[in-house]
A and B are shown apart, each in its own frame.
Chain A
Amino acid sequence: MDTVDLIIDGITIKAPKGEKILWAALDNGIYIPNLCALRWAEEPHAGCRLCFVEVEGRADPVTSCTEPVAEGLVVHTDTPQVRRLRRTAAELLIAAECPDCGACAKNRHCELQRIAAFVGVKLKPKRLRPTPKALPVDASNPFFIRDPNKCVVCGKCVSVCSEIVGANAIDFTFRGFETTLRPFDVQPVIDERCESCGECVAICPVAALVEKDLRWPKEEVKTICPYCAVGCGIYLGLDEGTIVGVRGDEENATNKGTLCAKGRFGIADFVHHRDRLTSPLVKRGRTFSQISWEQAIDLMATEFAKYRGEEFALIASAKGTNEDGYILQKFARVAMGSNDIDSDSRLCDAPSLEALGHSFGDGAMSNSMDDIERAACILAIGTNPTSSHPILGQRIRRAARKGAKLILANPREIDLCRLSTLWLRNRPGSDLALLMGMMRVMLDENLADLSFIEERCQNFEQFQDCLRDFDLGLAEEISGVPQELLKEAARTLATHKPAVILYGSGLTQHSQATQNVLALANLAMLSGNMGKGSGLNPLKGQNNAQGISDMGALPHFLPGYQPLSDPQSREKFERAWGYPLNPNPGLSLTEMLEAAAEGKIKAVYIVGANPALNMADIRYVRKALRRTKFLVVQDIFLTETARLAHLVLPAASFAEKDGTFTNTERRVQLVRQAIEPIDESRPDGQIACQIASRMGFEGFEFDSPSQIMEEIARLVPQYGGISHQRLTEAGIQWPCPTRDHPGTPNLHAEGFSRGRGRFAPLKYEAPAELPDEQYPLMLTTERSLYHLGSMTQKVEGLMRLRGEELVELNPADAANLGIADNQWVRVISRRGQVKAKARITEASPPGVVSMSAHFAKGAANLVTGGELKLSAVRIEKAG
C-alpha cells in the first residue's frame, strides 16, 4: 500500500495515500472532534463542521473529514481559529437539539456531550437562543424510539441504512430547520421497509434514535447469535446475570458488526422468558408433574434400556452446539446401538448432501460470505436471503450496489428484486426446467468454459446428451420465463467471473430437490464457476445446521461424513469409542416417523426439535409420536412436540453453555456461557452423558465442552485442527485438518473434494403436486425475517412486527374469490385445512399463495405435504 508521511500536531505519522486527515489522526491516537464522519461512507456528509483543522500553507481551516492526507502535510488540530470554529459548530448543534440531558436515556453515553466537553461549551448555551422543534416522536417500532427533536442531522443513520444494511428505509424529508429524519410510514403504522435491525440506532451519536428501555451492561460476553445459519458474532451485555443488551461484534468476519432484528433485539426476551422449562416433567394421565433430575435420569436409563437397537430413534436439532450434537449421536450409536439419528435440518439439507456429494464430494457451501460480497455475479435461486439470512442479504445488497450482476430466480417478488440485474419470475416448482434452459443456452451459444471442464470435470458428454431434447421453448413453457430472459441470464452468468450461485430451501424442499441441486452443480461447472472466489452455495437454515451434520447426526454417516457402510470407518469409531457399532444404516427423519406410526420404533428422544410444528403434514407427525411407548423431549420451552411427550427435560439455552456452532460458510465459532443455566435446566450434551453413564456406558465423562471438541478433533478430519483455545479470537472455516492449518475459506478452489467434478445427466420431471380444478392454487412457504423456531415467538417485539400467520395472495386471485385484505380465509389442501388472515399483495404472482409456517396458531404445516414448500390448495372465505 502506498503511504505518505505527514505531521499532525508535531507528530510524524504514516497514512495510506488518499486517506482523509481525520482518520489518519484518529488512527494515531490524535482526537479531532467529529460527529458526522463515517469511514466507509461513499461520500463524506461533512455537515457538522466540528472537525476543522489548519493545514500549513492554506489560508483557511479545512474540514479534516474531507481533506486527504498528502506527503509532508503539516496539520494543526488545536489553534485558536480551529477552537473558535468548532465551538461555534458545537453551539449551533446544541441550540438545534436543546438538550435536556438529565432526562435523556443516553445521558453520559452521548457523543454530543463528549464533544461539548472537549471543545469547552456548555450544554445550555447562552449565545444562541435554543429553538425547540416540537416534532412528533415516533415510538411505533417495538424496539426503538425516533425523536427527531434530538436529531443533529449527522446523516449517519441514513448512510448505514442505505450503504450497509441496504434497506433504504429512512431518509431526511423537508429542508432547513424542518429537516426530519423518517421512514415512509410513521406512528401509528410500523414502517414496512424498515427491517428493525437497529443499525441506525446503534450508530446514532445522540438519542434521536434510541433503544426502548435502554440499559447499560456492566460486562459483556462474546458469543454467537443462536438464530440463523449466518452465525453473527455478538456481545451479550450483562447486568447481574441478566442479559440487558446485544451488540454486533465488529471483528467477526461474517457479520462485521451488523445484526438483524432477531439477533439484536430477540435474545434476552426468550432466554429470560417466564415460560422457560424449569425442571423435568413427567406425564401422569393428561397432566405433567415435576420430578427431580435423579428420578428423570433413572427413568430414562430404565426405559431406554428396554428399547435398545432399532426400536430407538433420536431426533436432534440444528439449534444445539456441535459438542451437544456429537454427544447425542454418540449416545444413540453407543448407548442405544441405533443409527436412527437425524436432525430437523435434514429436510432442507439432505438433497444438497446427496447431490453435491455426487458432483463435488462435499455438501457444504463452497464460498465464504466475503467471496459473495466480492463476486462479479450472484445467482440466487429459491431463496429470499434478506428474510432468511438477513446479514448475508445485506452483503448481497452491498455487492449489487457496488455493481455486481444480481440474477434472481423466484416466483415471489422479494426485496432484492429492487437491486437485481435480472429477475426470472418462474412458476413455483419449475426451477429444474429453468436451469436446464439456461444450460441449453450456454451450450448453444458456446458459453461453456470448456478448458475448465476439460481440466477439472468428468462425464461432460453424457450430460450434454441429456439436454439434446430439452429445448428453450419447453423451458419457457414450463417455467413461464421468456426465452430472451433465460438467454440473458445464461450469458450474464457465463461472462461475469467470479460468479457465485446461492440457493435455499425454495429449491430443496421439493420432490425433485436432488435433481435441482445436481442441475445447479452442472451449471456451476459448465460456466466455469467452481474456482477461486466462485462456487455453489446451499444456504443452511438454522444456526448449526451445518455443524449438526458435520457431527454425524445422520443415519448414514458417522461424524465427519465417514460412511457408516464403510467397515474401516466403523472400525475407527469402534476403536475410539470402545464399543461395537450397529452396521445397519439408520432411518431418516421421515422414515423414523413412519416407523413410529407403524409401531416399529417405540422410544424416541427428541432434543430441541419441534417436528409437531415444523414438519410437513403435522397431523401425521403428531399421530406417529403419540403411538410411541416412551417419548422424551428436551427443550427450553414446552413446545407442541413436548406436549406429546412422556418425559420433558429442561434444556439450557445457548447463553447458558459453552460450545461451538458451525455457520453456513463452514465457520466454526465459539459459543460462550454468559449466564448460569436458568433454574434446573442443563446443557443437552450433559444430559445425554448422564443418561449414558447411568446406563453403564463409558466414554461419556467430560469435564467441559472443550474436552468434547478434543475428541471431535481426533475423529473428524475436517475439524482436526480445531480447539476451543484456537477459536477464542476468531472462527475457523473447515476443513482445518491440523493445528497449524488456517482453515479453508473457499472449498474446491483448486480441486474438488472428490477429485474431478462430475456432471450428472438430468431428467425433467414435473413436481409431485400440481394445481388442479379442486386445488387451483400453489402454496409455498416462506421464512419471515422476524421468526425462527419457537424462540422468536417468545419475543413480544418480534411478535408485534409479525405475530400471526398470513396468507399472501395476488389481487387478481383475491378479486376472483371475492376476498378482501385482512379477511379471514381457510386454506384447504388434500391433507387438511387452516384458518388465517389474507394479505393481498402483488409480491405473490397470480396462482401462487404463500404462508410462513412459523406459528402454532394457523400452522401452515397442517396443509403442506411431502414437498413441504409446495402444495396445491384452494382458498375459501372463512366464517
Chain B
Amino acid sequence: MTDEEERIRQTREILRGHGGERGKLIPILQEIQARFGYLPREAIKEIAKFMRITEIEVLGVATFYNQFRLNPPGKHPVKVCLGTACHMKGGVNILEAWERRLGIKPGQTTPDRQVSLERVACVGCCAMAPVSVVDEEVQGRVSPTRVDGILLSFELEKEKGEENSK
C-alpha cells in the first residue's frame, strides 16, 4: 500500500464514524488534521465524496479557519506571531525573513520537509515581541539575524543526524 492509499484508508475509517450532514464538516476536518497533522489532498477528496459536495467546497471551508493546514508540518514547525504587539514591533519583517530564507510562504513546508512556516495570532508573550514559536518553544525578540541562527542550528542537527546514521 502506498502512503497515499494508506491515508485514504485511514480517512475512510474516520469518516465511517460520522454522519453525512453538512454541519459535521468541521469535526471531520479536525479529526483528519489530528490524525495526519494536516489535511492531505486525498483526504479532502474522500471527505467531499462522503459529504456529497465538491472538493473545492471542502477546501473553502477548511481555509476559512486558521486551524487547518494543507501541508504536512515540517520537522521543525515555525510559527510567527503577528498579534498586535508583535505586529507593532515589526513581526511582518520577521515573517518576511523566514519566508526569504526558507523560500516558502506561510502554510507551506520546505520541499525537504524540514521546516514549515505558519502565522499565528498572539501567543501570549507580548513582552518579548516580536515572537516566533520554533519547535513549540517561544523565541523572543527575534531579529533577521536570529532567524539565520535558528536555521543554522537546524542544519547542524541534520548533519549530526546523518553522521550518526552512517
Contact = CB atoms under 8 A, between A and B. Distances in A.
A280 to B, nearest CB: 51
A40 interface: no
Interface stretch (A165-173, A451-459, A823-831): A165-173
Interface string A159-182: 000000001111111110000001
Interface string A189-213: 0010100000000000000000000
Interface string B29-70: 000000000000000100000001111110110011000000
A562 to B, nearest CB: 49
A418 interface: yes
Contacts, number: 37
A720 B54 CA distance: 48
A221 to B, nearest CB: 36
A191 B52 CA distance: 18
B56 A169 contact: yes
A171 B53 contact: no
A184 interface: yes
Contacts of B63: 173-175
B53 A183 contact: no
Q: Which one of A171, A175, A191, A419 has the highest number of Cβ atoms from chain B below 10 Å of its Cβ?
A: A171
A168 B56 contact: yes
B52 A171 contact: no
B52 A193 contact: no
B56 A418 contact: no
Contacts of B64: 173-175
Interface in A116-133: none
A141 to B, nearest CB: 14
B59 A169 contact: no
Measured as residues with beta carbon below 8 angstroms from the partner, the interface class of chain A is 10 to 19
A174 B61 CA distance: 8
Nearest to A192: B55
Contacts of A184: 44, 54-56, 59
A174 B60 CA distance: 7
Contacts of A418: 52-54
Measured as residues with beta carbon below 8 angstroms from the partner, the interface class of chain B is 10 to 19
A193 B55 contact: yes
Contacts of B59: 171, 173, 184
A183 B56 contact: yes
A199 to B, nearest CB: 16
A14 B59 CA distance: 44
Q: Which one of A169, A174, A182, A419 has the highest number of Cβ atoms from chain B below 10 Å of its Cβ?
A: A174
Nearest to B105: A178
Nearest to A174: B63
Nearest to B44: A184
Contacts of B54: 167-169, 184, 193, 418
Interface in A126-158: none
Nearest to A172: B60
A172 B56 CA distance: 9
Contact of B60 (A171, A191, A193): A171
Contacts of B52: 418-419
Nearest to B65: A175
A821 to B, nearest CB: 12
A225 to B, nearest CB: 26
B53 A170 contact: no
B27 to A, nearest CB: 20
Contacts of A193: 54-56
Q: Which one of B52, B60, B64 has the highest number of Cβ atoms from chain A below 10 Å of its Cβ?
A: B60
Nearest to A194: B56
Contacts of A175: 63-64
Contacts of A171: 56-57, 59-60
A823 to B, nearest CB: 16
B66 to A, nearest CB: 8
A174 B63 CA distance: 5
Nearest to B51: A418
A217 B54 CA distance: 36
Contacts of A172: 60
Nearest to B54: A168
Interface in A260-297: none
A852 B140 CA distance: 62
A191 B55 CA distance: 11
Contacts of B56: 168-171, 173, 182-184, 191, 193
Interface in B80-133: none
Contacts of B44: 184
Contacts of B60: 171-173
A222 B111 CA distance: 53
Nearest to B107: A174
A238 B125 CA distance: 65
B98 to A, nearest CB: 17
A184 B44 CA distance: 10
Nearest to B60: A171
Nearest to A180: B63
Contacts of A182: 56
A183 B64 CA distance: 15
B94 to A, nearest CB: 18
Nearest to B106: A178
Nearest to A182: B56
Interface string A407-427: 000000000001100000000
A825 to B, nearest CB: 21
A718 B11 CA distance: 58
Interface string A434-457: 000000000000000000000000
A434 B58 CA distance: 35
B67 to A, nearest CB: 12
Interface in A309-323: none
A175 B62 CA distance: 11
Nearest to B53: A168
A177 to B, nearest CB: 12
A400 to B, nearest CB: 11
Nearest to A185: B55
Ranked 9 nearest A-B pairs via Cβ: A171-B60, A184-B55, A173-B63, A168-B54, A184-B56, A171-B56, A174-B63, A418-B52, A193-B54
Given A173-B63, A191-B56, 16 more contacts: A168-B53, A168-B54, A168-B56, A168-B57, A169-B56, A171-B60, A172-B60, A173-B59, A173-B64, A174-B63, A182-B56, A184-B54, A193-B54, A193-B55, A418-B52, A418-B54
Interface of B: 44, 52-57, 59-60, 63-64
19 contacts: A167-B54, A168-B53, A168-B54, A168-B56, A168-B57, A169-B54, A171-B56, A171-B57, A171-B59, A172-B60, A173-B60, A173-B63, A174-B63, A174-B64, A175-B64, A183-B56, A184-B44, A193-B54, A193-B55
